[in-house]
């Protein structure tokens, strides 16, 4: 047999093997569906929220070919972020696919809803000014997903996870709605406590907030913009344009700005999760599993201190949890094949979700 004939047969065999291998690889990848949910609960707001919310829904590799039902994991993105950041930049669905292929994670549905807004994005509360986000999640989003997809509609098969402000949202949903979410993982959550600085020393330009003619005047001002949004969420005042909120510093009769203790306490009581631990202790004890972690080298050390204290208070209340501080900053340790999402979050979900 000539060398040319052997070469042709080898090339044919190589092409044939590629044709059967590529579909096999594709078959191990999940699919992504984009759905739109029109919210009734987000209609009441003063900041111009679009009530049509897009949902990015990851379906595991065997979803289309089977009649199986799956657990659902809800991912809450942080302020300034979007579902596209989670799906495209952080490649979270690729990480899930890889773990399913390797057999280190069972299959589940992932839902990344759109929590953006004309301001910062959701702070995961109900506010007449900045939107009823908790109602949207618990009364519209979860029922919609259970109706549209083959889910195991049980709290022990439903997890909520998130990062930064989304981590705060995940913890808040676990605290307030244990009948819906049985498993919680918060990645570097913020607002678990007040840290070490008083509200008079957090570096906010309250005069700029009071002089703003619209929210756009505050865009790009960093902490000043953030605290304007915090006031909209936790000190809403629909009768006070243009920001429709009360503030931690208010003008006196002589037009000078002074700390308003009553507003400060109201904001802290509603925003900081440690303030609600006693109230929600029984709910937290009813969760199947709760975990959160935080980076030691966060430039805002209030986040580190608050998470340490939050974990300690959980222990004092007898609430079982995983609380882990890791070496590094909060931006470079979570993503990639060896990041904490792969090494910590996915194994935690795999261990505690009911499949």
Q: Which residue has the tokens 């280190």?
A: 104
Residues 235-278 pLDDT 10s: 999 999 999 999 999 999 889 999 999 999 999 999 999 999 99
What is the rounded average pLDDT of the residues 303-309? 98
What is the rounded average pLDDT of the residues 160-186? 99
Contact partners, residue 254, CB within 8 Å, separation at least 6? none
Output the pLDDT for position 226: 98
Task: Report the b/e string of 271-281 with b at 16+ CB within 10 A.
Answer: bbbbbbbeebb
Average pLDDT value for the chain: 93
Give which of 198, 247, 205, 210 is closest to 223, Cα–Cα. 205
Output the pLDDT for position 28: 80
Residues 121-131 pLDDT 10s: 999 999 999 99
Lowest mean pLDDT among 14-18, 70-74, 86-90, 227-231: 14-18
Output the pLDDT for position 111: 99
3-state secondary structure labels for all residues of the chain = CCHHHHHHHHHHHHHHHHHHHHHHHHHCCCEEEEEEEECCCCCCCCCCCCCEEEEEEEECCCCCCCCCCECEEEEECCCCCCHHHHHHHCCHHHHHHHHHHHCCCCCCEEEEECCCCCCCCCCCCEECCCEEHHHHHHHHHHHHHHHHCCECCCHHHEEEEEECHHHHHHHHHHHHCCCCCCEEEEECCCCCCCCCCCHHHCCCCHHHHHHCCCHHHHCCCCHHHHHHHHHHHHCECCCCCCCCECCCEEECCCCCEEECHHHHHHHHHHHCHHHHHHHHHHHHHCCCEEEEEEECCCCCHHHHHHHHHHHHHHHHCCCCCEEEEECCCCCCCCCCCCCHHHHHHHHHHHHHCCC
**C-beta atoms surrounding 155 within 10 Å:** 18
Share of the chain above pLDDT 70, in %: 92
Residues 183-212 pLDDT 10s: 999 999 999 999 888 998 999 999 999 999
- For 181, what's the count of Cα atoms within 13 Å in the CB-facing half-sphere? 27
Give the residue, 266 or 1, on which the prediction is more confident: 266
pTM reported for the whole predicted model: 0.91
- 159 has pLDDT over 70: yes
Q: Which residue has the tokens 């029984």?
A: 282
**C-beta atoms surrounding 188 within 10 Å:** 26
> Can you give the C-alpha Rg of the chain in angstroms?
23
- 323 has pLDDT over 90: yes
What is the rounded average pLDDT of the residues 304-325? 98
Structural domains in the chain plus CATH codes: 28-194+274-352 (3.40.50.1820), 199-266 (no CATH)
Output the pLDDT for position 297: 97
Lowest mean pLDDT among 16-30, 136-150, 290-304: 16-30
- How wide is the angle at C-alpha 137 spanned by C-alphas 46 and 133, nearest 5°? 20
Residues 50-73 pLDDT 10s: 999 999 999 999 999 999 999 999
Contact partners, residue 328, CB within 8 Å, separation at least 6? 295, 296, 297
Whether the Cβ atoms of residue 71 and residue 355 lie closer than 8 Å to each other: yes
Residues 3-33 pLDDT 10s: 444 444 444 444 444 444 444 455 589 999 9
What is the rounded average pLDDT of the residues 147-163? 99
What is the rounded average pLDDT of the residues 309-334? 97
């Amino acid at each position: 047999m000539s060398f040319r004939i052997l070469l042709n047969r080898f090339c044919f065999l190589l092409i044939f093997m590629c044709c059967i291998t590529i579909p096999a690889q594709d078959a191990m990848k999940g699919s992504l569906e984009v759905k739109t949910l029109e919210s009734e609960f987000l209609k009441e707001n003063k900041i111009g929220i679009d009530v049509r919310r897009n949902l990015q829904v990851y379906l595991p590799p065997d979803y289309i070919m089977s009649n199986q039902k799956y657990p659902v994991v809800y991912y809450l993105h942080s302020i300034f972020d979007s579902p596209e950041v989670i799906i495209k930049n952080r490649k979270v669905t690729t990480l899930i696919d890889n773990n399913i292929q390797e057999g280190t994670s069972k299959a589940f549905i992932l839902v990344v809803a759109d929590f953006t807004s004309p301001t910062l994005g959701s702070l995961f509360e109900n506010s007449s000014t900045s939107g009823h986000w908790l109602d949207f999640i618990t009364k519209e989003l979860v029922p919609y997903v259970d109706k549209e997809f083959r889910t195991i509609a049980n709290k022990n098969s439903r997890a909520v996870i998130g990062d930064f402000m989304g981590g705060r949202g995940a913890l808040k949903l676990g605290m307030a709605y244990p009948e819906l979410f049985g498993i919680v993982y918060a990645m570097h959550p913020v607002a678990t406590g007040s840290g070490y600085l008083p509200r008079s020393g957090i570096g906010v330009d309250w005069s700029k907030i009071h002089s703003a003619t619209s929210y756009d005047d505050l865009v790009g001002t960093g902490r000043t913009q953030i605290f304007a949004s915090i006031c909209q969420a936790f000190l809403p005042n629909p009768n006070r344009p243009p920001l429709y909120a009360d503030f931690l510093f208010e003008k006196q009769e002589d037009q000078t700005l002074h700390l308003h203790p009553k507003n400060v306490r109201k904001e802290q009581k509603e925003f900081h999760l440690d303030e609600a631990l006693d109230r929600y202790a029984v709910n937290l004890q009813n969760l199947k599993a709760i975990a959160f972690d935080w980076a030691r080298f966060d430039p805002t050390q209030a986040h580190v201190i608050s998470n340490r204290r939050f974990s300690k208070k959980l222990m004092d209340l007898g609430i079982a949890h995983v609380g882990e501080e890791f070496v590094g900053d909060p931006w470079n340790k979570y993503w990639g094949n060896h990041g904490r999402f792969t090494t910590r979050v996915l194994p935690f979900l795999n261990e505690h979700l009911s499949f």
